[in-house]
């Protein structure tokens, strides 16, 4: 007997496609409203059926007033599915410039453009939803003698230069016994093991923390007198020297050039682990050729830090002549496409002089700041070349995978490395600045549980620890506790693709999206994104729930500086203060009434388009970092708050949030960075003394390598900027529309702008 259903076979879903509406409609002020259907078509079944005549267009454009307006195109397919495309129409005047740069303009203009960019991020929620700054509290043991008793945004507590009033035999080491007599070992504990000691490949903060201790940089922050410090030569012998300097009409006192030379110290040496193969026969000294060979190999191999990450050779902030062209040509199968290495702007003039050729003008500060990182340091050529294994696609290099396969040049070297257990560092006697270092070594225990780390500190086995949120009330008055203000804003990133079709488009693009993920349509609605922003009680979350963070309603904390010449926090400038207007700054962006109204508005839109039906539950996934007490508390709060506020009696629809803990760095690489989750908590750190360079992480083309939001477009000229500029020697007021991308490029380098948009 065969039982057959009497129900009809479900009708196949046919999705229509609207084309020609993916660019903004530019309307010069004073011109009439153009034909909004010009160039716009619709079809289904791969173009076999033309639906253009069935497109409906709605808009709110008023050509008599400057502004950014919404144009919506809708068409229904033969199966009843509604396709919607939203487009911007902008009325006004637009920026049009050839090779313009604001990089060295006066601070007031740079603050104005930076503020306009951040304001737009908040108005559109393009960069996600800022929630909190990664502040916290640390406790130091009684034997620690810190140089800085209060946290400094650049130097921290300067623990690298600290001293101790007790030696190791007077304290308990990690094995439960007293340490070696007369030695001073700084005892720490980290939550996870560094992934690599190869500094051109690292992509996590834990590896960065280790590399900072074992690798030097051309320039470094050093104390001058007392607690004063400056960015001074380290591996370099002197300050950068400009070649053919240029004088700027609008900033005549500033020396800039596109070519800079850096002279190296003549006493730079490598240090090797005792078990490094053939170490006595390896080259012992470091010179300019080591740097340039490393730079070439980095581009040949496509190492992460050479091509992305912000401090790379491609970013507009410090773009190197022909570096991108050289790298791109190497990827093509035709050898004739290759660009000779001598055409790339990275050169060794002699054994102790580096020369950098930049695409854009650079100041002495720009050059020092870029080179003040271990990232731009060399690796050891001979050791690296001896560590290749395998053949073809299986060929790998072991450099940086273990202490014996790494060459060191910093204050310490790695003597012992056991994954998930212990890392031991020993003072590097070859380091040119060794006399400033008081520690004989550093022990780093790997303890994933923050409560256990704290207990080890209380037991006297550590010299420093972070204070867990749950223990803060108990120890908040302890004289050993110190506040660590956070520079990084943690934000709620959003997958705003809205449809499977859009998700698949991104999967075929340069950002490598998860094409199988099904995004929630409501997250594509700007009104719901804003509802999420206003729904968060940041004050309560920071001070009553987590207790060890600070509320943050902006993308940039007070640690960020737009113009290093003023050393003024952007948040303290008039432009920085004005960014918060309209976003409930008195309550850190919290307004339940506004959140609920925006939620209902978003529901009206998605219900009209047929994405949901009455009685539905909207399921939203939220990824957080696992094994983090603060992130767990944050995830639980967002789940409870969103489910409480986002309930509609009108449609009998509610939101259900599923919190997904993922181990670091999977919470980034397996979730938000590939669009495999609806929402995700994450924080990306930027250059605090060069805030404009950090804007790149919000660009929709992922030029900074860490764009965390999806379904965004930063190419359109939606940002109205009013500013003063010199024209023919006269100060005039300009009022123009710019795109976010054009602003980013103008603040960091040189850009050509047409109709307010960046020309690439």
CA distances, 345 to each of 188, 314, 354, 412 (Å): 41, 12, 10, 32
- The whole-angstrom separation of Cα 671 and Cα 680 is 7
Q: Which helix (H) or strand (E) holds 752?
A: strand 751-754
Which DSSP letter does residue 632 get? H
- The whole-angstrom separation of Cα 199 and Cα 304 is 9
Task: From 695, 677, 678, 676, select the one nearest 686 (Cα to Cα).
Answer: 695
User: Percentage of the chain surpassing pLDDT 90?
Assistant: 83
| pLDDT at site 760 | 85
Asked whether the predicted pLDDT for residue 644 surpasses 80, the reply is yes
What digits encode the pLDDT tens for the residues 681-711?
Answer: 999 888 888 999 999 999 999 988 889 999 9
**Confidence at 316, pLDDT banded by 50, 70, 90:** confident
Burial (CB count within 10 angstroms: exposed 0-12, middle 13-18, buried 19+), residue 717: buried
What CATH fold (topology level) applies to the domain 17-92?
Answer: Immunoglobulin-like (2.60.40)
Structure tokens that stand for 92 in this block: 């006004």
Cβ distance 691 to 561 under 8 Å?
yes
**Confidence at 731, pLDDT banded by 50, 70, 90:** confident
**Confidence at 551, pLDDT banded by 50, 70, 90:** very high
DSSP string, 690-711: -HHHHGGGG-TT-TTS----BS
Other C-beta atoms lying within 10 Å of the C-beta of residue 146: 15
CATH 3.40.190.10 fits 136-191+411-484, yes or no: yes
Q: Alpha helix locations (H) across 84-194?
A: 107-124
Burial (CB count within 10 angstroms: exposed 0-12, middle 13-18, buried 19+), residue 645: middle
Looking at residues 201-208, what average pLDDT do you find? 93
Q: What CATH homologous superfamily does 217-401 map to? A: Dipeptide-binding Protein; Domain 1 (3.90.76.10)
Q: Alpha helix locations (H) across 308-436?
A: 323-330, 364-371, 381-385
Looking at residues 726-746, what average pLDDT do you find? 92
Looking at residues 575-598, what average pLDDT do you find? 97
| pLDDT at site 612 | 95
| pLDDT at site 653 | 98
Task: From 754, 724, 699, select the one nearest 316 (Cα to Cα).
Answer: 699
What digits encode the pLDDT tens for the residues 358-389?
Answer: 999 999 999 999 999 999 999 999 999 999 99
Cβ distance 383 to 408 under 8 Å?
no
Return the higher-pLDDT residue of 501 and 270: 270
CATH 3.10.530 fits 104-134+487-703, yes or no: no
- The whole-angstrom separation of Cα 343 and Cα 63 is 50
**Local structure of 324: helix, strand or coil:** helix
Looking at residues 217-231, what average pLDDT do you find? 94
As a whole number, the mean pLDDT across the chain is 93
User: Percentage of the chain surpassing pLDDT 70?
Assistant: 98
| pLDDT at site 6 | 38
Looking at residues 152-162, what average pLDDT do you find? 93
Asked whether the predicted pLDDT for residue 8 surpasses 90, the reply is no
Looking at residues 21-31, what average pLDDT do you find? 94
| pLDDT at site 7 | 39
Looking at residues 650-667, what average pLDDT do you find? 96
Looking at residues 533-547, what average pLDDT do you find? 96
The strand pair at 25-28 and 82-92 is best described as parallel
Looking at residues 650-675, what average pLDDT do you find? 95
Quote the distance between the C-alpha of residue 512 and its chain's center: 17
17-92 shares its CATH topology with 104-134+487-703: no
Looking at residues 225-254, what average pLDDT do you find? 93
The dihedrals phi and psi of 503, each to the nearest 5 degrees, come to -60, -40
Other C-beta atoms lying within 10 Å of the C-beta of residue 477: 7
Asked whether the predicted pLDDT for residue 646 surpasses 90, the reply is yes
* Whether the predicted model's global pTM rises above the 0.85 cut: no
Asked whether the predicted pLDDT for residue 11 surpasses 70, the reply is no
- The whole-angstrom separation of Cα 400 and Cα 420 is 17
Other C-beta atoms lying within 10 Å of the C-beta of residue 531: 25
- The whole-angstrom separation of Cα 137 and Cα 542 is 13
| pLDDT at site 651 | 97
| pLDDT at site 211 | 98
Q: What are the residue boundaries of the structural domains of the chain, listed by start?
A: 17-92, 104-134+487-703, 136-191+411-484, 217-401
What digits encode the pLDDT tens for the residues 105-149?
Answer: 989 999 999 999 999 999 999 999 999 998 889 999 999 999 999
- The whole-angstrom separation of Cα 668 and Cα 625 is 9
What digits encode the pLDDT tens for the residues 45-67?
Answer: 888 899 999 999 999 999 999 99
| pLDDT at site 12 | 61
The strand pair at 412-418 and 653-662 is best described as unpaired
- Which of the given ranges, 6-10, 294-298, 567-571, has the highest pLDDT on average? 294-298
Looking at residues 98-104, what average pLDDT do you find? 94
| pLDDT at site 352 | 98
**Confidence at 311, pLDDT banded by 50, 70, 90:** confident
DSSP string, 133-160: E--EEEEE-TTEE-S-SS-BTTTBT-GG
């Amino acid at each position: 007997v065969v039982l057959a259903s009497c129900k009809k076979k479900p009708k196949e879903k046919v999705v229509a496609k609207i084309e020609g509406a993916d660019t903004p409609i530019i309307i010069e002020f004073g011109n009439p409203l153009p034909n909004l259907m010009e160039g716009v078509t619709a079809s289904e079944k791969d173009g076999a059926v033309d639906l253009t005549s069935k497109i409906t267009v709605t808009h709110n454009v008023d050509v008599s007033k400057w502004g950014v307006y919404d144009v919506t195109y809708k068409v229904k397919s033969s199966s009843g599915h509604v396709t919607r495309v939203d487009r911007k129409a902008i009325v006004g005047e637009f920026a049009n410039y050839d090779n313009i740069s604001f990089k060295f303009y006066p601070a007031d203009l740079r603050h104005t453009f930076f503020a306009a960019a951040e304001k737009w991020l908040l108005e559109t929620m393009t960069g996600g939803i800022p929630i909190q700054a990664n502040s916290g509290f640390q406790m130091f043991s009684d034997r620690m003698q810190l140089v800085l008793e209060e946290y400094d945004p650049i130097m921290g507590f300067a623990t690298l230069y600290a001293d101790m009033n007790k030696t190791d035999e007077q304290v308990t080491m990690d094995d439960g016994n007293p340490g070696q007599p007369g030695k001073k070992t700084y005892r720490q504990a980290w939550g996870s093991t560094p992934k690599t000691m190869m500094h051109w490949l690292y992509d996590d903060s834990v590896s960065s923390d280790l590399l900072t201790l074992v690798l030097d940089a051309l320039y470094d922050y050093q104390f001058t007198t007392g607690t004063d410090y400056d960015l001074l030569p380290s591996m370099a012998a002197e300050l950068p020297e400009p070649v053919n300097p240029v004088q700027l009409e609008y900033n005549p006192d500033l020396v800039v050039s596109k070519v800079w030379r850096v002279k190296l110290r003549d006493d730079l040496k490598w240090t090797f682990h005792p078990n490094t193969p053939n170490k006595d026969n390896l080259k012992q000294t470091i010179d300019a050729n080591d740097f340039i060979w490393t730079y070439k190999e980095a581009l040949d191999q496509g190492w992460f830090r050479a091509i992305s990450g912000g401090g790379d050779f491609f970013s507009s902030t410090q773009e190197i002549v022909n570096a991108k062209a050289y790298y791109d040509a190497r990827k093509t199968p035709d050898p004739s496409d290759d660009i000779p290495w001598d055409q790339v702007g990275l050169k060794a003039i002699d054994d102790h002089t580096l020369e950098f050729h930049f695409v854009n003008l650079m100041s002495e500060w720009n050059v020092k700041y870029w080179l003040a990182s271990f990232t731009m340091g060399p690796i050891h050529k001979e050791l690296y070349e001896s560590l290749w294994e395998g053949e073809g696609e299986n060929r790998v290099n072991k450099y940086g995978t273990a202490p014996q396969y790494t060459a060191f040049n910093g204050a310490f070297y790695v003597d012992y490395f056991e994954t998930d257990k212990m890392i031991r560092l020993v003072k590097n006697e070859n380091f040119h600045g060794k006399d400033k270092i008081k520690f004989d070594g550093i022990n780093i225990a790997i303890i994933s549980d923050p409560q256990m780390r704290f207990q080890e500190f209380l037991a006297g086995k550590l010299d420093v620890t972070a204070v867990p949120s749950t223990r803060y009330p108990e120890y908040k008055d302890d004289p050993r506790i110190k506040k660590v203000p956070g520079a990084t804003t943690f934000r709620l990133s959003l997958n705003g693709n809205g449809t499977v079709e859009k998700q698949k488009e991104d999967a075929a693009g340069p950002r490598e999206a998860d094409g199988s993920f099904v995004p929630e349509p409501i997250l594509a609605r700007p009104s719901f994104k804003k509802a999420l922003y206003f729904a968060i009680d940041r004050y309560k979350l920071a001070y009553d729930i987590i207790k060890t963070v600070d509320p943050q309603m902006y993308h940039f904390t007070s640690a960020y500086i737009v113009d290093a010449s003023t050393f003024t926090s952007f948040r303290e400038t008039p432009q920085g203060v004005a960014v918060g207007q309209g976003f409930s700054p008195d309550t850190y962006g919290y307004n339940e009434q506004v959140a609920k109204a925006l939620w209902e508005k978003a529901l009206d839109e998605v219900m009209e388009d047929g994405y949901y039906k009455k009685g539905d539950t909207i399921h939203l996934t939220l990824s957080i970092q696992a094994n983090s007490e603060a992130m767990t508390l944050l995830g639980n709060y967002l789940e409870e708050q969103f489910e409480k506020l986002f309930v509609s009696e009108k449609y009998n629809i509610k939101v259900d949030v599923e919190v997904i803990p993922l181990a670091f760095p999977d919470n980034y690489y397996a979730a938000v960075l590939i669009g495999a989750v609806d929402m995700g908590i994450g924080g990306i750190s930027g250059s605090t003394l060069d805030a404009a360079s950090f804007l790149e992480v919000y660009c929709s083309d992922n030029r900074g390598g860490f764009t965390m939001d999806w379904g965004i477009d930063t190419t359109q000229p939606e940002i109205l900027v009013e500013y003063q500029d010199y024209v023919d020697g006269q100060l005039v007021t300009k009022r123009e529309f710019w795109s976010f991308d054009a602003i980013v490029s103008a603040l960091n380098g040189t850009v050509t702008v047409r109709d307010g948009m960046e020309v690439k």
